């Protein structure tokens, strides 16, 4: 039978001997126990959920992580790994009975092997540092979440993070060769290796995106790529979403795979122009497309021409392009500032993350507009159009009681819409605490149960990040109840 997540009687945990043991391993400075210091960790990027953890630890090595996890096992207390805390689905949300294992002192780049194009890093290393470390030699690390100047590689592994350039280069899982892991019982294993294809089961692939529920990655072997010779950004503006969406489809159908292909709707355009004044995005456009093309100079020149022709054929009003870094940055500026701009034009905003087949773009955007009207919230759409990864931003005022719940309901409708058209409830932000109730919309009971059995192999005591990813009856109400009943009553194997 599947064991349930560890649910301690919170009042009964005596933290004193546990903390004493942590201090023996990590020293006084490696253990955070004062409430005011612990407040730093009360939430991640999903700020609508907060919980101060009882204790946080700051290990520096694989062995220290393993020792901490063994102490957790000894006292049967759960633990939650946390990188920079920029996650948007509450994957690193603490619980009142769990130890928070923070990787922010594990920030060494352990090895760079340019010849074989790989780097070995600790999990607390910041995403953009990897590129910085190899850019002098003409290389870079491809996955680039918006938070790349602050988010950690460990967090990227947990959430299988994406970014603007994932259309062409793939998400985090496509760039991880091997992992040293501390499993939830404190044992240390290596999965994958230094070369892409390894025999046996692909446990690296299972671990990437497992949101901390299978253990903690303490050494990560990343692929690094050669920087492109030439990069060009095109901005095309449209008077209809259909025309922009048709351009996206036609570009891909023509065999062009842009480095990135982003769409913004009129609400987003005006938000960013209000806030950062790029003066590049026409305020009356229904949608704009930003298409980045990279490769050899000759290739970029030709593809630039082809993309422009496709956009014009589909009714683009204007095409602007830039090849020099400064102007490229200017064209990207509004897109990069889109979330922040939403925060400026509205007291609060709620970022949704869903995926749809590219061909469903016009239909889904119309339906999102209908949801916007139904609930009475403005919704700004900013998204990775090339891979159909939507990021609707629902603008609202959290100081009005009951609004957050309504907004979450509207967000839920958007997710169900994504599932309905054959898409997914998460593109790159993960499930975490936020979306676990929607997992049954996407997976059958048997599918979820199979995942839970895999989880149990790694995490039989339920100590690693309990209450994340999988629906639980306490938090998910009816939707999850059926699943839970099955788990608690049926022995499948």
Contact set for its own copies, span 413-472 (CB under 8 A): 422-428, 430-431, 435, 439, 442-444, 446-448, 450-451, 453-458, 460, 469
The mark string for 121-160 relative to its own copies (x by CB under 8 A, - otherwise) is -----------------x---------------------x
Distance, in Å, from the CA atom of 2 to the CA atom of 303, rounded to the nearest integer, reads: 53
- The 3-state secondary structure of 176-233, one letter per residue: EEEEEEECCCCCEEEEECCCCCCCCCCHHHHHCCCCCCCCEEEEEEEECEECCCEEEE
Three-state DSSP at 60 gives coil
Considering the rule CB under 8 A, would residue 301 count as an interface residue with its own copies? yes
In this structure, the number of other CB atoms found within 10 A of the CB of residue 68 comes to 26
Considering the rule CB under 8 A, would residue 315 count as an interface residue with its own copies? no
Write the DSSP symbol of residue 286: S
Q: How many residues of this chain interact with its own copies, rule: CB under 8 A?
A: 86
Instruction: Name which of residues 339 to 368 contact its own copies (CB under 8 A).
Output: 355-359
Instruction: Name which of residues 233 to 272 contact its own copies (CB under 8 A).
Output: 249, 252-255
Chain CA centroid to CA 295, Å: 27
Three-state DSSP at 405 gives helix
The mark string for 171-210 relative to its own copies (x by CB under 8 A, - otherwise) is x-xx--------x-x-xxxxx-xxxxxxxxxxx-xx-xxx
Rg (CA), the chain: 23
Distance, in Å, from the CA atom of 222 to the CA atom of 220, rounded to the nearest integer, reads: 6
Question: Which C-beta is closer to its own copies: that of 96 or that of 229?
Answer: 229
In this structure, the number of other CB atoms found within 10 A of the CB of residue 273 comes to 17
Question: Which C-beta is closer to its own copies: that of 211 or that of 348?
Answer: 211
Q: How far is the CB of 462 from its own copies (least distance, A)?
A: 11
Q: How far is the CB of 306 from its own copies (least distance, A)?
A: 9
Considering the rule CB under 8 A, would residue 489 count as an interface residue with its own copies? no
Instruction: Name which of residues 363 to 382 contact its own copies (CB under 8 A).
Output: none
What crossing angle do the helices spanning 62-74 and 15-26 adopt, rounded to 10°?
A: 160
Q: How far is the CB of 17 from its own copies (least distance, A)?
A: 25
Question: Which C-beta is closer to its own copies: that of 42 or that of 202?
Answer: 202
Out of 302, 369, 403, 408, which residue is the one contacting its own copies (CB under 8 A)? 302
Q: How far is the CB of 161 from its own copies (least distance, A)?
A: 10
Query: Helix-strand-coil percent breakdown of the chain, rounded to 5?
Result: 40, 20, 40
Could you tell me which residues come within 8 angstroms of residue 193 by beta carbon, excluding any fewer than 6 positions away?
A: 177, 178, 221
Question: Which C-beta is closer to its own copies: that of 359 or that of 398?
Answer: 359
Q: How far is the CB of 118 from its own copies (least distance, A)?
A: 9
């Amino acid at each position: 039978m599947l064991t349930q997540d560890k649910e301690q009687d919170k009042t009964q945990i005596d933290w004193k001997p546990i903390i004493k043991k942590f201090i023996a391993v990590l020293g006084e400075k490696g253990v955070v126990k004062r409430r005011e210091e612990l407040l730093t960790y009360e939430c991640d990027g999903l700020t609508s959920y907060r919980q101060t953890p009882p204790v946080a630890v700051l290990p520096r090595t694989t062995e220290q992580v393993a020792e901490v996890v063994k102490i957790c096992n000894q006292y049967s207390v759960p633990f939650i790994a946390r990188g920079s805390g920029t996650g948007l689905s509450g994957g690193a949300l603490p619980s009142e009975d769990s130890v928070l294992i923070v990787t922010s002192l594990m920030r060494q780049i352990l090895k760079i092997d340019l010849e074989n194009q790989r780097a070995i890093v600790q999990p607390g290393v910041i995403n953009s540092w990897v590129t910085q470390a190899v850019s002098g030699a003409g290389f870079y690390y491809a996955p680039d979440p918006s938070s790349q100047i602050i988010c950690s590689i460990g967090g990227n592994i947990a959430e299988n993070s994406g970014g603007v350039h994932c259309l062409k280069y793939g998400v985090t899982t496509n760039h991880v060769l091997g992992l040293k892991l501390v499993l939830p019982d404190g044992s240390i294993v290596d999965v994958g290796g230094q070369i892409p294809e390894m025999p046996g089961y692909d446990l690296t692939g299972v671990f990437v995106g497992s949101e901390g529920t299978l253990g903690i990655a303490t050494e990560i072997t990343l692929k690094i790529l050669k920087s492109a010779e030439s990069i060009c950004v095109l901005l095309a503006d449209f008077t209809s979403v259909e025309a922009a969406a048709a351009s996206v489809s036609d570009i891909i159908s023509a065999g062009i795979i842009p480095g990135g292909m982003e769409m913004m709707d009129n609400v987003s355009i005006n938000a960013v122009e209000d806030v950062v004044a790029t003066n590049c995005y026409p305020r009356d456009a229904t949608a704009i497309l930003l298409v980045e093309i990279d490769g050899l100079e000759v290739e970029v020149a030709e593809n630039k021409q082809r993309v422009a022709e496709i956009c014009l054929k589909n009714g683009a009003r204007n095409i602007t392009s830039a090849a020099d870094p400064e102007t490229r940055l200017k064209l990207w500026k509004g897109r990069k500032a889109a979330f922040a701009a939403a925060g400026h034009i509205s007291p609060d905003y709620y970022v949704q993350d869903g995926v749809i087949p590219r061909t469903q773009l016009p239909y889904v955007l119309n339906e999102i507009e209908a949801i916007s009207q139904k609930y009475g919230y403005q919704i700004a759409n900013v998204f990775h159009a090339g891979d159909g990864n939507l990021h609707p931003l629902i603008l609202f005022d959290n100081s009005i009681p009951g609004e957050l719940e309504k907004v979450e309901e509207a967000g839920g409708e958007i997710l169900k819409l994504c599932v309905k058209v054959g898409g997914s409830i998460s593109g790159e932000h993960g499930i975490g605490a936020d979306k676990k109730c929607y997992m049954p919309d996407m997976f059958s009971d048997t599918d979820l149960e199979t995942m839970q059995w895999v989880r149990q192999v790694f995490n039989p005591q339920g100590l690693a990040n309990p209450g994340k990813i999988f629906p639980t009856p306490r938090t998910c109400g009816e939707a999850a109840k059926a699943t839970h009943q099955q788990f608690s009553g049926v022995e499948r194997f």
